[in-house]
Amino acid sequence: MDEADIRMIAGELAIQKGISLLCDREATDQLSEFMEDLRYEGVARELREDIAADSVILMNKISAEEPEYICTPEMFESADLRVSQALLAWDEMRGITQ
């Protein structure tokens, strides 16, 4: 598995989670599920910890933004689309879809 791809996927999930937290939006915590998948797939603990730290940084950056600029239907739609694409890429990396 390519580390850059894994980091990109985690980044998209962290952005979506950050938006959901900032906007009090109901959403599945796909970032935590992804992190568990990484453990299950045997990704090194050090890499998982680094990705988790990067995810926290992304979520903190979002939390510092003004909700009026972030909590919009367009931002939700964009984040959801990018997450869908990232999760599809994750499934392809694991050979689940093609």
Interval 17-60: pLDDT, tens: 999 999 999 888 999 999 999 999 999 999 999 999 999 999 99
pLDDT at 19: 96
Q: Which residues of 29-42 are buried (b: 16+ CB within 10 A; e: fewer)?
A: ebbeebbeebeeee
Write down the pTM of the prediction.
0.92
> What is the rounded CA–CA span in Å between residue 2 and residue 14?
18
- C-alpha dihedral sign at 66, 71, 73, 79: positive
pLDDT mean over 69-82: 95
pLDDT mean over 64-85: 95
pLDDT at 27: 80
User: In this structure, what is the dihedral angle of CA atoms 70, 23, 56, 49, given to the nearest 10 degrees?
Assistant: -120
pLDDT mean over 60-76: 95
> What is the rounded CA–CA span in Å between residue 9 and residue 1?
12
Within 13 Å, how many C-alpha atoms sit on residue 68's CB side? 0
pLDDT, averaged across the chain: 94
pLDDT at 98: 58
